[in-house]
Amino acid sequence: MLSENLKNLRKEKGLSQEELAIRLNVVRQTVSKWEKGLSVPDSEMLIRIAEELDTTVTVLLGETVEPEEAIDIKALSAKLELLNEQFARQNENRRRIWRMIFIAVGIIAGIILLWELIQFIFTQGALHSVDESIGIIGGADGPTQILVASVVNPVSDWIFAAIAAVVSVIGIVSTRRR
């Protein structure tokens, strides 16, 4: 454990074996032997090593210290998980909004189609109930025929409403929860 902790803490501080050896007044090979577990520093040297690495002897001798990279990976993983959750919530909210928009468009298109159908039925009923005598009036030069025109529902209203209804159905189906 000492060998791994010494190596990990030295690297976290950004020190090479040579730099640590200079600070401790030993040769680089001595630091290398400590890190390989081939030798162990005495108690006074352990205190000096702990001071140079800004840690305690307990940490040096205790459980293996995780390298900072591993800690960073764990922290990064936690942050990414949080970001993924936020992204999923945003996507769900967008899906709900679009679904509501498509439902509203569908309702409006249905109302327009129903209104156009009602107008068409009433117009056709009115045209069948017209008597031919109503179309003729007397005049100074004889009877005159009056052309009775009906209001024809524009086809564009029907087409627009039908397209809106189809788009709405497609939108509602495509925004359903999977």
Q: What is the CATH number of the domain that holds 37?
A: 1.10.260.40
Q: Pick the residue with more confidence: 104 or 44?
A: 104
- From CA 88, how far away is CA 80, in angstroms rounded? 12
Are 95 and 127 in a shared domain?
yes
Q: Is the pLDDT at 140 greater than 70, yes or no?
A: no
Rounded to an integer, the average pLDDT of 114-136 is 70
Average pLDDT of the chain, as a whole number: 80
Look at the chain and report how many structural domains it folds into. 2
Identify whether residues 155 and 74 lie together within a single domain: yes
User: Can you tell me the distance from the alpha carbon of 52 to that of 5, in angstroms, rounded to the nearest whole number?
Assistant: 13
- Please report the pLDDT score of residue 42 as a whole number: 85
Give yes or no: residues 16 and 77 share one domain.
Answer: no
| Per-residue pLDDT, 160 | 85
101 and 164, same domain (yes or no): yes
Give mean pLDDT, residues 100-113. Answer: 92
Instruction: Tell me, yes or no, whether 92 and 148 share the same domain.
Output: yes
- pTM of structure: 0.46
What is the model's pLDDT at position 133?
A: 44
Tell me which of 11 and 78 has the higher pLDDT: 11
Same domain, 14 and 101: no
Domain residues for the domain of 83 are 69-174
